[in-house]
Amino acid sequence: MDDHKGLALALGEAQRGYEEGGIPIGAALVATDGRVLGLGRNMRVQDGNPILHGETSCLQNAGRLPSSAYQGSTMYTTLSPCDMCTGACLLYGISRVVIGENKTFLGGEAYLKKRGVEVIVLDSPECRELMERFITEKPKVWNEDIGVEERVYTKENLEGIS
């Protein structure tokens, strides 16, 4: 699947989440043959579930799959993945992570690369605008989502954050 088409699926999920009053981060997991294995969006607000981020929601919606299903797959996500979602991609052996934007938040991209995952940042204005709008409207909800009291761009090299 073309990376822009894959990201469009994730962005559709993010927009749905925003319209539901949630955090607008969406994801799509696509197999090497172009089959969509799962779609998801951050559902922390809607479901009151602290670990249902875009990527983990996508994996949950994909259901139980054999490990071979993840080989060569691509996780499309509208925002740079947090530590938890980075770990989920690594756990399942997802080969590629295509990110809509990493200007509003920079997650575990360096760690993904270090572990051999291909990381592509498309720098999507649509993804960035949606996140900036949400962060402006609901800064406390955003900070809660990434586990901080004050807005940060990245948790890398910050002292005092546990």
| Positions marked catalytic | 55
Tell me the C-alpha distance between 98 and 112, whole Å. 11
CB count, 10 Å around CB of 64? 5
Tokens of 134: 């949400």
Tokens of 78: 């509208």
Residue 3 makes CB contacts below 8 A (sequence gap 6+) with: 74, 76, 98, 120, 122
- β-strand partners of 29: 38, 75
**Which one, of 149, 32, 13, 144, lies nearest residue 77 by Cα?**
13
